[in-house]
Amino acid sequence: MIIGLYLIYTTFHLGPRFEEKTTRGSALLDAFVFHAVTAMLLYCYALCVFVHPGTIPDKEEDPSWDYDEAEGPQPIAADLLMNMQEMKRSGDRRHCKWCLKYKPDRCHHCRVCRICILKMDHHCPWIYNCVGFRNYKYFFLLLLYTSIDCLYIVANMLPTVRAGTQPTTPFMTMFWLMFGETLAGFLGVLVVLFFGFHIYLMSKAAILGFSQYEQTGVLTVDRSKLTSC
């Protein structure tokens, strides 16, 4: 999909503008902006795919997270109780029955990755990875650059699409221009709405953090509110 939009934009929009001397300068500027944003998009996409979202430490790294079925769930220690928001109704620490580890706040087991993910947002099939504590920043930036790229294609290619509706325009050129404009617009609307939803979640977390600061004098932004389950 990304490759398709790239080929349509460069072949049917930038290509003809580079051939004309009157539009060559503006086409060069458009190509620079487009490729800069696209490069950042691909960079963030690669980081979303290859950066591990984070998981609970193994027993060798930190044995305090290891759950012993023979002992059963343990009560939350007093020093952890002040910083922990999620627990069982009995007051015991949450644990994963598949990984056999205690779970911190907002940690959930992903059945696709088959591990517990820290600050899990969701498992994204587009990146074939979970979005969690360590790669959420790159996922947020991916949404930002994708929104900019799609909206830039729609706005920048609109005059070419209008010119392509002339009867003298070859049918395949008209088809690909209309298809690219429609696809970019459709994806742009979806990604912008999703991006706006994540901005809302982050702003809500910041407001809660400042409210806590007014009450306790300690500024703590609750990252568990940054993303949705």
Could you write out the DSSP letters of every residue in 71-109? T-PPBPPHHHHTT-----TTSBPPEETTTTEE--TT-EE
Give pLDDT, residue 106.
83
The yes-or-no verdict on residue 227 having pLDDT over 60 is no
Task: Give the residue extent of every domain in the chain.
Answer: 2-51+135-195, 54-130
Catalytically active residues, by annotation: 124
Residue 132 neighbours by CB under 8 Å, 6+ apart? 53, 54, 117, 118, 119, 120, 121
Q: Whole-structure pTM over 0.75, yes or no?
A: yes
For the stretch 113-158, pLDDT in tens is: 999 999 888 899 999 999 999 999 999 999 999 999 999 999 999 9
Among residues 51, 206, 222, the alpha carbon closest in space to that of 139 is found at: 51
Phi-psi map region of 54: left, alpha, beta (phi>0 left; psi -120 to 50 alpha):
left
**129-131 vs 122-124, strand pairing mode:** antiparallel
**Which is more confident, 202 or 217?**
202
Token pair belonging to 154: 């729609």
Q: What is the mean pLDDT of the chain?
A: 83
Reference 164, options 175, 152, 153; nearest CA is 175
The whole-number pLDDT of residue 83 equals: 57
Stretch 71-80: mean pLDDT: 53
Q: What are the distances in angstroms from CA 70 to CA 10, 56, 66, 77, 87?
A: 63, 20, 12, 19, 20
Give the pLDDT band of residue 77 (cuts 50, 70, 90): low
67 and 164 in contact (C-beta within 8 Å)? no
For the cut 60, the answer to whether the pLDDT of residue 218 exceeds it is: no
Please check whether residue 14 is in contact with residue 8, taking contact to mean a CB–CB distance below 8 angstroms: no
Task: Report whether 206 contacts 220 (CB < 8 A).
Answer: no
